[in-house]
Structure 1
Amino acid sequence: MEIDFSKNNDGLVPVIIQDYKTRKVLMLGYMNYEAYNKTVDTKKVTFYSRTKKRLWTKGEESGHYLNLVSIKNDCDKDTLLIEVSPVGPTCHKGTGTCWAEENDANYGFLSNLEDIISDRIATADSKKSYVASLLANGINKVAQKVGEEAVEVVIEAKDNDEELFLNESADLLFHYLILLHAKGYKLQDVVDVLEKRQK
């Protein structure tokens, strides 16, 4: 990999550290040529510490290593994106990231939708909220609704109305998220099962 360590007078390039599973940015560090080579050789991310003035392998004291998964160079060849499998929290203050966040997976809009469903169930009036009213009718009603939506997806899959197929698919996913919540689970629990099946 061609990396331009000469662009800065100090011979360092910035390194963005990202969890390969959760996709969260965990921290920012710096590498020189030696730190890069040690990272590649040991498969544990090593930085050049600007304060200690030496190579520093993340986790060398705490045991919270950043196990190397992949390294990507940016278009200017002077910034690295390193995907890792972290052991424990990344920040020395004990949080998952150096921005005081936990290193939880986030599925963007779907995670936001899960939060909205949780909020509606917890706070909304069942006479005004569809989600709350569905849950008020019990788990059997929720499960039945998921079954109905699944059948509608199958029916629409056989036709050529793509818009209707996508709308029914959205209805199925929405009601499935409600069912997951009703059973005390989240999308992440399903992802965990799928990851265990992956070979």
Structure 2
Amino acid sequence: MEIDFNKNQDGLVPVIVQDVKTKNVLMLGYMNQEALDATEQTKKVTFYSRSKQRLWTKGEESGNFLELVDIKNDCDNDTLLVFVNPVGPTCHKGTDTCWGESNSQEYGFLSQLEEIITARKNDVENPDSYVASLFRKGINKIAQKVGEEAVETVIEAKDSNDELFLNESADLLFHYLILLQSKGYQLNDIVKVLQERHK
């Protein structure tokens, strides 16, 4: 990996730090060659502090280290993307990121769908909401719907109509998300189980 530290007069390159699991951006720092070498040797992300005018390992005082997983350089060789496993909050103000955001796993539209299900679950008085009506009927009805959708998905999987298979798969996933919430869980809980199995 060749980094052009001479592009700027101070010999520093910007470093974007990203959680390897959640893909959330945690912070922005700067490195010179010495900081990069220290990071690769110790496997703990080390920056060059412009205010302290010295090398600074994130977490050296707080214990909230950024454990190195991988480093990539950009197309111009003047910016680094560092993938880490954070140990505790990243920001010195105590937040997960330097933008005050939670470093939680997001799944794009599926996360939005979970939020919608939560809102409908909590709006059980709404007679027009299909989701709310399922929650009103209870766990047995929700589990039954998941079973029905699972059987229909299996049937369509054995057929050759891809559109029907995808629609039944979507129905199964939708009702499974409802079942998870009826049991007090979300996708993140299932992902954690899978990650533990993967170890």
- Corresponding position of 2:16: 16
CA distance, structure 1, for counterparts of residue 7 and residue 131 of structure 2? 56
What amino acid is aligned across from residue 119 of structure 2 in structure 1?
Answer: D
- Corresponding position of 2:107: 107
1:123 Cα offset (Å): 2.0
What amino acid is aligned across from residue 166 of structure 2 in structure 1?
Answer: L
Contact map agreement 1:95 1:102 (CA 8 A) in 2: yes
What amino acid is aligned across from residue 12 of structure 1 in structure 2?
Answer: L
Moved more, 26-35 or 119-128: 119-128
RMSD, matched Cα: 0.8
After superposition, residues 26-175 of structure 1 pair within 5 angstroms as 26-123=26-123, 125-175=125-175
Deviations 1:12-68 (A, max 9, x none): 111000111111100000000000000000000000001111100000011100000
**Matched position secondary structure for 1:104:** coil
**Matched position secondary structure for 2:95:** coil
What amino acid is aligned across from residue 16 of structure 1 in structure 2?
Answer: I
Contact map agreement 1:126 1:136 (CA 8 A) in 2: no
**Matched position secondary structure for 1:123:** coil
1:107 Cα offset (Å): 1.0
Contact map agreement 1:177 1:187 (CA 8 A) in 2: yes
**Matched position secondary structure for 2:122:** helix
CA distance, structure 2, for counterparts of residue 155 and residue 49 of structure 1? 61
**Matched position secondary structure for 1:171:** helix
- Corresponding position of 1:195: 195
Alignment CA distance shift 1:140-1:126 (3 Å): farther
1:124 Cα offset (Å): 5.0
Deviations 1:60-102 (A, max 9, x none): 0111000000001111111111000111100001000000112
CA distance, structure 2, for counterparts of residue 37 and residue 81 of structure 1? 15
CA distance, structure 1, for counterparts of residue 142 and residue 156 of structure 2? 21
What amino acid is aligned across from residue 136 of structure 2 in structure 1?
Answer: A
- Corresponding position of 1:176: 176
Contact map agreement 1:74 1:80 (CA 8 A) in 2: yes
CA distance, structure 2, for counterparts of residue 73 and residue 113 of structure 1? 35
TM-score (norm 2): 0.98
What amino acid is aligned across from residue 67 of structure 1 in structure 2?
Answer: E
CA distance, structure 2, for counterparts of residue 22 and residue 55 of structure 1? 27
1:148 Cα offset (Å): 0.4
TM-score (norm 1): 0.98
- Count of residue pairs brought into register by the alignment: 199
